[in-house]
Amino acid sequence: MATAEVSVLVDRGSTWTKASVVGQTRGRWRITAHAAQPSSWGDDDLLEALVRRLEPAADQRLAGRLRGLLADAPRISCHTPSRAGRLAVASLTGELSGAAARSAAEGAGWVVQEAVAPDDGRGIAERLAVLQRAPVDAWLLAGGFDDARSDQALELAGLVRAARDGTTAPVIWAGSQLMAAEVAACFEPGACTAVANPLPAPDIEHGATLRRHLEAMLEALLEPGGVRALTPFGFRRAVAELSRSQRLRILAVDLGARYASWVLADGDGSAEGWVQASGGIATSPHGGGSSAARIVRWLPVAADELTVRDALETYRARPVTLPYTDDELAILHAAVRGVLTAHRPALPPGGIDLLIGGGRTIAAAPTPAQAMQLLVDGVRPTGAFQVAIDPTGVLGPLGSLADGEIGEGMAELRDDLLTPLGAAVVCRGGRPGQPAMRVSVRRAGWPALPPIELRAGQVQVVELGPGQVAEVEIELDAEVSLGGPRGGRRLSATLTGGSVGLVLDARSTPPLVPRRSDDRRAVLGSWRDAFARETAPRASGTSESPR
Amino acid sequence: MSSRSGGRVLHRVLVPRGAMIATRVGAVLAPDQAIGHWDRPLPPIRIDAARQLRCRAADLPGLMVASAGVRVQDGAVLARAPSGREVVAPASGWALTASRDGSILFAPAGAAETIIAHVRGRVRAIEEGAVLVEVPGARLPGIAGSGTAVHGELMLAVSGPDDELRATAIDTAAAGKILVGGSRASAEALTRARAIGVSGIVLGGILDKELREFEAAGQRRRDAGGASDPFGLLLLEGFGKVGFDPLLFGWLSAQAGRMASLSGADRLLYVYDAPAAPVRRALPQVGERVIGCRRPFQGRTGVLVAILDDLHAAPNGVLTRMALVRQEEGRLVVAPLANLEAMGTPAGR
């Protein structure tokens, strides 16, 4: 951490820049001011905004000197990559090897410009033509299980070599290992690298090695000097450090206009990351007008598909702008939910301890309840877990510190890093309308609540303030699961509250909604309202305030 | 922030890999000038090479002379047997692979497709996959686009910035022109324009649904083997019914009759020999004319009266810096500063 009295943490996004002033208050480092504004407004205005936030609270002896202090303060910065790596994928099948290769590439920060496969409905000539036109930085070939040999793989290699036409973009073979040497021989020496097959056998999918290889290639292409200063990688490093220091299994998402970064950290310091250059709200097809019909289904307000399409496409064209009306915000949030659901990674069987949401749409949602609902509805992990947001966007800049400094920096800012929204217990399964789980909540210093019975399809929020701890006993119906080992019908958890409280969620995954639009909107509206207020039954004859 | 420069700007004309570039650095290009050609691959044929070489099918890969995927000329040797027998390319094209069934998969190169510059200017550089052209004129960036690169004379098709472009307003006089439409054009108007031979249309707004329907109709026609007339569309303001920025509409009106190039994929319009277009700038200042970029003030213009201190909540609760705008009709509205752009002439505000 910088030794000066003041430091500035900056996350320069593709559309918005977030900046936080870190200063010493009573001997401790705290975030003392924060500003977020369009990146196009420039550094001067950002500095002015920080000064304006700082002035009311700053020592009056510093009046008039704040701007100079901030301008000279050490900066810890990260930024969204200026451009994404462009890839063409050629595979033996579109749905098997093609999908696995594409998934690995898109999780490593590449944008797939063109994907071809013999089963894509196009002839060889057309496939060759589209590949010749595709502007790419690298080529990815995939197909065949590891023990399979196929002439089609060589045909694929010939097709890509024809499309490359003597250019030098690297080629990756991520298919049958039996074919690796033959495929590599189709290219000039050193051009083709074989990487572990993401689909080595019919029932095994393992894209992590390919994803890491592609990520390393992308780093060399975009930031040869190191990727620490790139926000997606900084975010990952910070989450990994948080997971290591707190020994928590964390799932974190930083959802921006262009990029989405997902991190799954297992508590021992190792973290899997997915950097999606087309996973942002303005770039993901799941957030666009083509998904309008699906998005309309998740709107608690009446809006026709035409309105939704135009609102979404305007946002995609001008992602720096902000929704102004309730309807526009509802449309944006429904799109965010769709994007989160589409890109969330598979979770380990043990579930997670903490879910973190970053990016302005989530972390700067107008109310904490909206942020909580976006995360719980969009990511939908099952189990009992804490939920928090990164409201100032400091995880990215802190993760850009050198290895030896991240832990120190995050420890110093521990009280300001995340804003706890509370906790959630999310189950899956159950028959509509039938009891799903019975939850007993014991809060230290509060009168005991009667057990809360939730029927499948219900969601309820119990008051549990920031820092307040509750012992939660959960009794599950026979057809309901929390994602843990089978047969575990009684579970207990210690959960800590936040600005929203404790969410008890017995909706299915994905939540079932009525087909009739009026009924559907009524149900969606009731869920929205449930997140926005505490609805736990009061213990009879007692006041709902702490003793 | 919009860049609407006059003078000279650089434009990249993308060319497929394998295309033959027929221009050179320093050459002066006209919009309809060919800068090269590209041999589109034809459906491949299978050459029974093992039979011609009189070898075992499995031996064919070892007898190949031509490397897989490398372009060869008509008559070039593809494979040669120890006996001296040869298999030659039946045409110029690509030998994609030698299969163990004894055949060579060969994709002949089709008739050369001409690559048109579609912009006027001087070639500054020839790069891998692109020709860089210095264009004399004003560049107008849009927020969305569709279709191919086209060029034509700029022609006004509506009388005011808020007018809709109606199908009935498009007649044969518009053939070959780039039309300046209005706040919206229906799929019917777009279809009629393309059928008449209009080169392109510049619009303030369009309904996303109508744009998609128009694009889908074009795709269906191409899939059915129909002619694919070049047609480009550029959207300047937003989706929905959104009027033009009046300053910009006035500028476009003044440029009617000038030659222009429109690239839907690049979301750009070039107007040749034109003065710089009105500028748009983020972070407007008090006293400047502004235009709204998002509902409910999208396309509405006014004067920025004040920027409110500190953060304020929009009606939906989003906290942000807000600004007071006196709209043209005199109404005072509060809008997020991020949703406003300053409008002005390039020389001053």
For residue A466, is the peptide bond before it cis, meaning its omega torsion is within 30 degrees of 0?
A: no
- Is position A541 within any domain? no
Domain boundary pick from A24, A54, A79: A79
Mean pLDDT, range A328-336, rounded to an integer: 94
* Closest CA–CA distance from residue A128 to any residue of chain B (Å): 7
- Is position A543 within any domain? no
Among residues A352, A368, A377, A533, which one has the least CA distance to residue A466? Answer: A368
- Whether residue B67 and residue A161 make contact (CB cut-off 8 A), yes or no, is yes
Predicted confidence (pLDDT) at residue B3 exceeds the cutoff of 50: no
Domain boundary pick from A79, A111, A140: A79
Nearest to B318 among A124, A163, A366 (CB): A366
- Which residue in chain B has the smallest CA separation from A38? B338
Compute φ and ψ for A124, nearest 5 degrees. -60, -40
Predicted confidence (pLDDT) at residue A540 exceeds the cutoff of 80: no
- Is position A226 within any domain? no
* Closest CA–CA distance from residue B93 to any residue of chain A (Å): 9
Instruction: Output the CA torsion sign for A358, A363, A368, A373.
Output: negative
> Could you tell me how far CA B74 lies from the centroid of its own chain?
35
- Residue A486: per-residue pLDDT: 56
Predicted confidence (pLDDT) at residue A536 exceeds the cutoff of 90: no
Predicted confidence (pLDDT) at residue A538 exceeds the cutoff of 80: no
Instruction: Examine the domain organization and report whether A361 and A442 are in the same domain.
Output: yes
- Residue A404: per-residue pLDDT: 87
Predicted confidence (pLDDT) at residue B214 exceeds the cutoff of 90: no
Predicted confidence (pLDDT) at residue B122 exceeds the cutoff of 90: yes
Cα atoms in the Cβ-side hemisphere of radius 13 Å centred on A73: 28
* Closest CA–CA distance from residue A536 to any residue of chain B (Å): 26
Among residues A481, A468, A478, which one has the least CA distance to residue A441? Answer: A468
Mean pLDDT, range A40-57, rounded to an integer: 92
Mean pLDDT, range B198-206, rounded to an integer: 94
CB pairs under 8 A between A and B: 184
Query: What are the tokens at A403?
Result: 């290895």
Domain boundary pick from A79, A101, A130: A79
Query: What are the tokens at B240?
Result: 């929905």
* Closest CA–CA distance from residue A307 to any residue of chain B (Å): 8
* Cross-strand partners of A170: none
- Residue A290: per-residue pLDDT: 67
* The amino acid at A342: A
Q: Which residue has the higher pLDDT, B210 or A60?
A: B210
Interface test with A, best of B316, B319, B337, B340 (most A CBs within 10 A): B316
Report how many domains make up chain A: 3
**Token pair 């993401």 is at which residue?**
A198
The Cα-based distances of B54 to A166, B49, B67, B76 in angstroms read 32, 8, 20, 19
Q: Which residue has the higher pLDDT, A395 or B349?
A: A395
Interface test with B, best of A322, A326, A331, A361 (most B CBs within 10 A): A322
- Which residue in chain B has the smallest CA separation from A133? B16
- Secondary structure (3-state) at B121: strand
Mean pLDDT, range B313-324, rounded to an integer: 96
Query: What are the tokens at B107?
Result: 């994709």
Residues spanned by the domain of A451: 231-532
* Dihedral (Cα; A398, A47, A21, A333), 10-degree rounding: -70
Among residues A42, A71, A39, A40, which one has the least CA distance to residue A54? Answer: A71
CATH number at residue A89: 3.40.50.2300
Interface test with A, best of B2, B60, B213, B239 (most A CBs within 10 A): B239
Instruction: Give the DSSP letter of residue B42.
Output: P
Assess contact for B151 and B31: CB atoms under 8 A.
Answer: yes
- Residue A90: per-residue pLDDT: 95
Instruction: Examine the domain organization and report whether A434 and A375 are in the same domain.
Output: yes
* Closest CA–CA distance from residue B249 to any residue of chain A (Å): 20
Query: What are the tokens at A205?
Result: 């999918």
Residues of A in contact with B310 (CB under 8 A): 52
Instruction: Output the CA torsion sign for B107, B112, B113, B119.
Output: positive
Residues of B in contact with A132 (CB under 8 A): 16-18, 38, 41
Range scoring the smallest mean pLDDT among A65-74, A484-493, A522-531, B272-281: A484-493
- Residue B72: per-residue pLDDT: 95
Assess contact for A393 and A2: CB atoms under 8 A.
Answer: no
Mean pLDDT, range B194-215, rounded to an integer: 91
Mean pLDDT, range A275-287, rounded to an integer: 85
- Is position A200 within any domain? yes
Compute φ and ψ for A338, nearest 5 degrees. -60, -40
Predicted confidence (pLDDT) at residue B217 exceeds the cutoff of 50: yes
Question: How far is A199 from A91, CA to CA, in rounded Å?
Answer: 12
Among residues B61, B146, B72, B152, which one has the least CA distance to residue B109? Answer: B72
Instruction: Examine the domain organization and report whether A331 and A473 are in the same domain.
Output: yes
Cα atoms in the Cβ-side hemisphere of radius 13 Å centred on A9: 31
Question: How many C-beta atoms surround the C-beta of residue A547 within 10 A?
Answer: 8
> Could you tell me how far CA A413 lies from the centroid of its own chain?
22
Question: How far is B247 from B257, CA to CA, in rounded Å?
Answer: 18
Instruction: Examine the domain organization and report whether A74 and A209 are in the same domain.
Output: no
Question: How far is B321 from B301, CA to CA, in rounded Å?
Answer: 19
Instruction: Examine the domain organization and report whether A206 and A263 are in the same domain.
Output: no
- Whether residue A162 and residue B69 make contact (CB cut-off 8 A), yes or no, is yes
Burial B204-223 (b: 16+ CB within 10 A, else e): bbbbbbbbbbbeeebeeeee
Q: What is the pLDDT of residues A78-88, one digit of tens each?
A: 999 888 899 99
* Cross-strand partners of A492: A473
Instruction: Examine the domain organization and report whether A205 and A257 are in the same domain.
Output: no
- Which residue in chain B has the smallest CA separation from A288? B208
Number of helices and strands (H, E) in chain B?
A: 5, 29
Among residues B277, B268, B9, which one has the least CA distance to residue B148? Answer: B268
Question: How far is B328 from B302, CA to CA, in rounded Å?
Answer: 5
- Is position A546 within any domain? no
Predicted confidence (pLDDT) at residue B233 exceeds the cutoff of 50: yes
- Residue A3: per-residue pLDDT: 41
Instruction: Examine the domain organization and report whether A105 and A63 are in the same domain.
Output: no
Query: What are the tokens at A143?
Result: 């197909």
Instruction: Examine the domain organization and report whether A300 and A324 are in the same domain.
Output: yes
- Which residue in chain B has the smallest CA separation from A186? B68
- Residue B5: per-residue pLDDT: 58
Instruction: Examine the domain organization and report whether A97 and A236 are in the same domain.
Output: no
Q: What is the pLDDT of residues A184-232, one digit of tens each?
A: 999 999 999 999 999 888 888 888 899 999 988 988 887 776 777 889 9
- Residue B99: per-residue pLDDT: 87
Range scoring the smallest mean pLDDT among A377-386, A507-516, B199-208: A507-516
Residues of B in contact with A160 (CB under 8 A): 69
Predicted confidence (pLDDT) at residue A535 exceeds the cutoff of 50: no
- Which residue in chain A has the smallest CA separation from B297? A324
Q: Where are the beta strands (DSSP E) in A411-458?
A: 419-426, 428-429, 435-443, 452-455
Mean pLDDT, range B115-142, rounded to an integer: 93
Query: What are the tokens at A238?
Result: 């910070």
Instruction: Examine the domain organization and report whether A64 and A104 are in the same domain.
Output: no
Interface test with B, best of A318, A320, A327, A362 (most B CBs within 10 A): A318
- Which residue in chain A has the smallest CA separation from B267? A317
- Is position A306 within any domain? yes
Nearest to A158 among B96, B239, B310 (CB): B96
* H helices present in A223-363, as ranges: 231-246, 292-297, 305-317, 326-343, 360-363
* Closest CA–CA distance from residue B248 to any residue of chain A (Å): 19
Residues of B in contact with A151 (CB under 8 A): 97, 99-101
Question: How far is B140 from B269, CA to CA, in rounded Å?
Answer: 5
Assess contact for A235 and A252: CB atoms under 8 A.
Answer: yes
Assess contact for A343 and A260: CB atoms under 8 A.
Answer: yes
Residues of A in contact with B16 (CB under 8 A): 129, 132-133
Interface test with B, best of A14, A137, A141, A321 (most B CBs within 10 A): A321
The full length of chain A comes to 547
Q: What is the mean pLDDT of chain A?
A: 89
- Whether residue B293 and residue A318 make contact (CB cut-off 8 A), yes or no, is yes
- Secondary structure (3-state) at B108: strand
- Is position A537 within any domain? no
- Whether residue B144 and residue A320 make contact (CB cut-off 8 A), yes or no, is no
- Whether residue B240 and residue A160 make contact (CB cut-off 8 A), yes or no, is no
Interface test with B, best of A313, A327, A528 (most B CBs within 10 A): A313
Assess contact for A176 and A149: CB atoms under 8 A.
Answer: yes
- Whether residue B283 and residue A160 make contact (CB cut-off 8 A), yes or no, is no
Instruction: Give the DSSP letter of residue B146.
Output: E
Crossing angle for the helix pair A231-246 and A403-412, to the nearest 10 degrees: 70
Residues of A in contact with B309 (CB under 8 A): 52
Q: What angle do CA A456, A386, A382 make, to 5 degrees?
A: 35
Q: Which residue has the higher pLDDT, A267 or B235?
A: B235
Question: How far is A438 from A476, CA to CA, in rounded Å?
Answer: 7
Predicted confidence (pLDDT) at residue A37 exceeds the cutoff of 90: yes
Predicted confidence (pLDDT) at residue B22 exceeds the cutoff of 70: yes
Question: How far is A504 from A523, CA to CA, in rounded Å?
Answer: 16
Mean pLDDT, range A343-364, rounded to an integer: 92
* The amino acid at A439: V
- Is position A357 within any domain? yes
Please, which pLDDT band fits residue A513 given cuts at 50, 70 and 90? confident
Instruction: Examine the domain organization and report whether A62 and A128 are in the same domain.
Output: no
Residues of B in contact with A158 (CB under 8 A): 68-69, 94-97, 105
Look up the ipTM and state it.
0.87
Query: What are the tokens at A56?
Result: 């009311």
CATH number at residue A59: 3.30.420.40
Instruction: Give the DSSP letter of residue A264.
Output: E
Residues of A in contact with B38 (CB under 8 A): 132
Question: How far is B162 from A279, CA to CA, in rounded Å?
Answer: 35
Instruction: Examine the domain organization and report whether A199 and A332 are in the same domain.
Output: no
